[in-house]
Amino acid sequence: MSELSPDELVAKVAAYNPKSNSKQIAAAFEYGRRMHEGQFRHSGEPYFTHPVAVAHILAEQKLDDATIITALLHDTIEDTGSTFSEISDLFGKDVAELVDGVTKLTNLQLSSSETKQAENFRKLFMAMSKDLRVILVKIADRLHNMRTIRAMRPEKQAQKARETMDIFAPLAGRMGMQWMREELEDLAFHVLNPEARSSIIRRFIRLQQESGDVIEKITGDIRIELDKAGIKAEAFGRAKKPYSIWRKMQEKDQSFSRLSDTYGFRVITATEAECYDVLGVVHQRWRAVPGRFKDYISQPKSNGYRSIHTTVSGRDGKRVEIQIRTRQMHEVAESGVAAHWSYKDGEKSENPFAVDPAKWIATLTERFENAEDHDEFMENVKLEMYTDKVFCFTPKGEVVKLPRGATPLDFAYAVHTRVGDSCVGARVDNIRVPLWTRIKNGQSVEIITAEGQSPQTTWLDIVVTGRAKSAIRRRLREEDRGRFIKLGRELARVAFEHVGRKSTDKALTTAAKQLGLDGPDELLARLGSADLAARDVVAILYPDAQSGTDHIDVERAVIGLEPGQSFARAKCCQPVPGERIVGITYRGKGVMVHSIDCQALTAVEDESARWVDVHWHSGTHPAVHTVSLELTIANDAGVLGHICTLIGEQKANISDLHFMDRKPDYYRILVDVDLRDVEHLHAVMLVLEAETEVAEIRRHRDLSRAP
């Protein structure tokens, strides 16, 4: 490829779209080359070779001019002096918005911490909802980076490979670009487990030496049978990618020698009717393997994929997977959602099987927009991207697609939220079954509803779809609203009294307005559901309120540090003044203070140079040291409010409250309490332990939060 000349790219685009704006593509090429002048890749090549390669990958997909130009310019805003307005003036607002969208995705750290990852995934899907071509460019960008990853440092290679395997490969598959998914997986596999990949390749070579060219033999057999039946169709085969083989070996716990379907074959016909004719020919010639037949022509996948899959016992009894589809179906199978922008013979392709991207992305994002917390959002994303589907039917014969492992409750919520909320039972194939039954392919499901029924907390453990979980949580929140408002009022009263104030309606209304909430009830509901901390509400109205002026400065609460050294309390053991402590140095984090009996210390017991002899200041400390208490309390009216009152009476502030488990007869909750010292802690625990409604109380220690 003449990488720094636009001629080859312009010719490649013009070959499938003679009406393309060749001058604009060439101008974008020259602009991108000029902006990246003097920049180089890790390999030492001029940096602009990368955008050019990405543009070629997308041109192979026969995409429109705007996408090709975006590929050439996709790094200009981030890495050069180029601006949105300049690109908009030169190449149009459409291209400028696409380049800006790719730039924003490039800056997302998708493989970072769970919370940050969820926020960034949300941004990723919102970018997709605006224009799917942003993701097409980003996936092509990742594909070229993976093809040239060997120039990176080993640790960077591993990080990029894991991100590719976890995010970009499944995303490409979800969008129907199967060839790209397979290549991304295999390139990542090459980095993450090179020994396993090499082993599989060596076994393929040995197998070919022993049995000859299996692909040519079986393809020849298929062509002979098609000729006999008078069917004109293309037949070809290929060895499956090493990672695909490895994954099947892991899933089935089989060795390579016992794995049967290591090759895949395709038959491409002219018409849909011929697909079924070919199926008949194949099943007459070879014995079909039970349970290995799927008809995605009559039941297409949501990304537009259509094909018949069947596995037969071929030559020498070896299992052979055969996919049968028309030429138009094959184009969608290769390009997926990208087929919507593809050109053919100079005209935008009107492939009847290409999915409308707007409708496709709407089905993918509607439930994400309703997710109200990070865990819920990530749960939805993973369900959508990583699971296979089952197809089941309503009593009227309408098809409902669900993830594998779905239950009748998932089915009910897929039909309509109202049906799910009022579900009291289900019949599968006319037999009454429990709601936790796993639905299988092809089953008919009938939902039994009743007025007055409402979702139960235990349903969250039964359903698997993000849509059902979101709907159940939303309804539970609505039903809990009155209880949360009551609890929030008590939390607010205690927090305000803690600073010598009263939580009047006017004070709450003012705080709600400052927080941008609808009113005091919304504020109280958020307090009661632990979405908002009472001390934050107090701080908005009374930022200077203090319970005393003779407290020790929090930043100087620990003695024994070097001048300029900072410290923080370890989250795993949450030490408080009065307890024996030890300091451990962490690079970039200063000194982390642990309780002397913290289990996390075993990990550094042989690194004596990192241990620092520290102790708490002996004066009076402010009540700002958070300790997590785990309580099991009776599920009766007013109990939770009473518990909060008791804590407040001890002059302790509740900074957070989280429900760990909800059962009909008890709650298990995690309460974060701000305390002065160990005596304050003992006083709070003692008064709670004395209450009959408290079945158990203990200090919560979480080793997973160790630094």
- Quote the CA–CA distance of 612 and 629 in Å, as a whole number: 28
Catalytic (active site) residue 79: yes
Out of 3, 8, 45, 78, which one is annotated catalytic?
78
Contacts of 274 (CB under 8 A, 6+ apart): 231, 233, 326
The number of CA neighbours under 13 Å toward the Cβ of 46 is 16
- Quote the CA–CA distance of 373 and 672 in Å, as a whole number: 19
The answer to whether the CB of 617 falls within 8 A of the CB of 552 is yes
- Quote the CA–CA distance of 645 and 648 in Å, as a whole number: 5
253: its two tokens: 């716990």
Out of 3, 79, 261, 656, which one is annotated catalytic?
79
Strands (E), 376-483: 389-393, 399-403, 423-428, 431-433, 445-449
For 166, phi then psi, to 5°, come to: -85, -30
Segment holding 24, helix H or strand E = helix 22-35
**DSSP string covering 119-143, please?**
HHHHHHHHHHHH-THHHHHHHHHHH
Nearest 10 degrees: Cα torsion 356, 357, 362, 364: 120
230: its two tokens: 């008078």
270: its two tokens: 């002219």
For 449, phi then psi, to 5°, come to: -120, 165
Among 293, 298, 296, which Cα is nearest to 282's? 293
Nearest 10 degrees: Cα torsion 133, 136, 142, 145: -90
379: its two tokens: 């749960």
- Quote the CA–CA distance of 584 and 567 in Å, as a whole number: 9
Active site residue ranges: 78-79
